[in-house]
Chain A
């Protein structure tokens, strides 16, 4: 049961990540437009600083899928936390775009609550960077895993199965 749930969380997390990056870029484009900032001009680094944690995590997701060992894929706690982070960022984006009860939504005429969203950028960065860090740690941990030990465990399991 947990294995299925773990797999689901892993897939959902990987699907949500690029979608959330696109939504964030959409909001940031209008945010820059309102402040007369050019994205591909002198403010590119500022733009990149918001997008970088997403890109980093996407790269790590791709790396995970190509690796032999499955320390990240099998870690339920990591996948569950990543999924929670994705949900939280979805809520940030949803409220910035849709929550009309926060009255600053109406202020600038873009139908986006920029003040709210810019408040959320810092926690978003923290969560994504720390997730990337723990992902790297898990990858290294998997890399150091003793293959002989794994084989031993695997063979032991097979023997028990056969004897039964």
Chain B
């Protein structure tokens, strides 16, 4: 009887251990698979990358700012706008922005995330909130009052787009890519999120370019 109980206990103990063996092997393999999956790079062709267009816009902004500086105009409102645009231009060329991206480089999900979060923290929080948001307030200068509503609505939509895509990229932490379809869906989202973020950079560069153009025009008009 004692032997029977002993054998029986051993069977129970090894069955339980076997169960743990199955569970732990499953989690071990799934973790390995998931960690390999989340660091798979995303290849973006030179046509998709949008950074050439962005850099061209930054150059145009830089040219406009130089033109204004050479015009010798000393109007207070225009001078304020000039100094704010200079700060914006510097921020828009900072680290982790689209200006620093390279063609034919594989992007990891983390790179796309950093691109988006630096747009949020540098471009929107510093350039827009600290410098250019005065355009939509009561103290907005007369010279730029006509473009203020357009800028305001554009920035609102860009802000929403960026928050949406950053939240969506975080999907890649959802544990286990249970099927191939889940995996490819998450990767497709990543690519579309990259496009949204790169477009946001370009849209914001358009706003700053528009402001720099009107700065040069107004300075020229005043000088004439």
Contacts and interface: CB of A to CB of B under 8 A. Distances in A.
Interface of A: 77-78, 81, 84-85, 87-88, 91-92, 95, 99-107, 113, 115-116, 119-120, 123, 126-127, 130-131, 133-135, 137-138, 140-141, 144-146
A144 B13 CA distance: 14
Given A101-B35, A101-B110, A102-B38, A134 B13 contact: yes
Interface stretch (B44-52, B166-174, B210-218): B166-174
Contacts, number: 104
Interface stretch (B20-28, B85-93, B128-136, B199-207): B20-28
The dominant DSSP class at the B interface is helix
Contact of B9 (A115, A126, A130, A144): A144
Contacts of B110: 100-101, 103
B17 interface: yes
Interface string B8-35: 0110111011111101110110010001
Nearest to B168: A103
B9 A140 contact: yes
B117 interface: yes
Contacts of A77: 14, 17-18, 21
Given A81-B24, A95-B31, A134 B14 contact: yes
A127 B35 contact: no
B16 A116 contact: no
A133 B2 CA distance: 20
A103 B113 contact: yes
B28 A101 contact: no
B108 interface: yes
Most buried by B among A99, A131, A137, A140: A137
B13 A141 contact: yes
A105 B31 CA distance: 16
The dominant DSSP class at the A interface is helix
Nearest to B10: A141
A120 B6 CA distance: 34
A101 B39 contact: yes
B172 A103 contact: yes
Contact of A85 (B24, B39, B108, B169): B24
A131 B12 CA distance: 12
B221 interface: no
Interface in B150-181: 169-170, 172-173, 175
